[in-house]
Amino acid sequence: MEASPLSDEEAVLLEQGRQEFDNGRYWHAHEAWEDLWNSLKRRNALQTEILLVQGLIQTAALLYNHQRQKERGVTNQWEKLVPKLTSWKTAWGFDIEQHLLNIAVYVEDVGKWQQTYENVRLPLSTEVSE
């Protein structure tokens, strides 16, 4: 599955969310990606792409909950985001498959609360477009 091109404004929102996410500002990433999600809904983008962005939002919410040691918040977000992201390998230059693996570590850490956030990044795709 390949994601459709984003408008310039949407690409800016995606990038703003990525920067916030990569800097550990999960609430702010959530907000930027929510603006992107709303833009996609307004223009009737493909449902799979709307759900993809919703899944990214939920990964930010999951980490936000993990920081606050909210077990239910982490597990609820995980259950919601997995079906939205598992059908994607890559999208918009990001490795969604690897992102899911990276986030899973925080689900496994529930109750231990030992994972830190310095190295959490939205991974870039290494795939090259034809």
Residue 95 φ then ψ, to 5°: -90, 90
* Residue 22 resides in a domain: yes
* pLDDT higher than threshold 80 for residue 129: no
* pLDDT higher than threshold 80 for residue 127: no
Q: How many domains does the chain contain in total?
A: 1
* Residue 113 resides in a domain: no
* Residue 52 resides in a domain: yes
Residue 96: C-alpha distances to residues 90, 101, 103, 124, 130 (Å): 5, 9, 10, 9, 19
* Residue 128 resides in a domain: no
Give the pLDDT confidence score for residue 130 in this predicted structure. Answer: 42
CATH classification of the domain holding 17: 1.10.3450.10
Q: Are the CB atoms for 95 and 3 separated by under 8 Å? A: no
Q: What is the pTM of this model?
A: 0.95
> Would you state the structure tokens that stand for residue 68, as one six-digit string?
């606050």
Indicate the average pLDDT of the chain: 96
Confidence of residue 126 (pLDDT cuts 50, 70, 90): confident
Give the pLDDT confidence score for residue 108 in this predicted structure. Answer: 98
Confidence of residue 1 (pLDDT cuts 50, 70, 90): confident
Give the pLDDT confidence score for residue 128 in this predicted structure. Answer: 54
> Would you state the structure tokens that stand for residue 79, as one six-digit string?
């259950």
Mean pLDDT of 11-37: 97
Mean pLDDT of 60-80: 98
* Residue 129 resides in a domain: no
Mean pLDDT of 82-98: 97
* Residue 15 resides in a domain: yes
> Would you state the structure tokens that stand for residue 31, as one six-digit string?
């907000």
Q: What percent of the chain has pLDDT over 70?
A: 97
* Residue 92 resides in a domain: yes
Q: Are the CB atoms for 70 and 61 separated by under 8 Å? A: no
* Residue 123 resides in a domain: no
pLDDT tens track for 30-63: 999 999 999 999 999 999 999 999 999 999 999 9
Domain membership of residue 56 as a residue range: 8-108
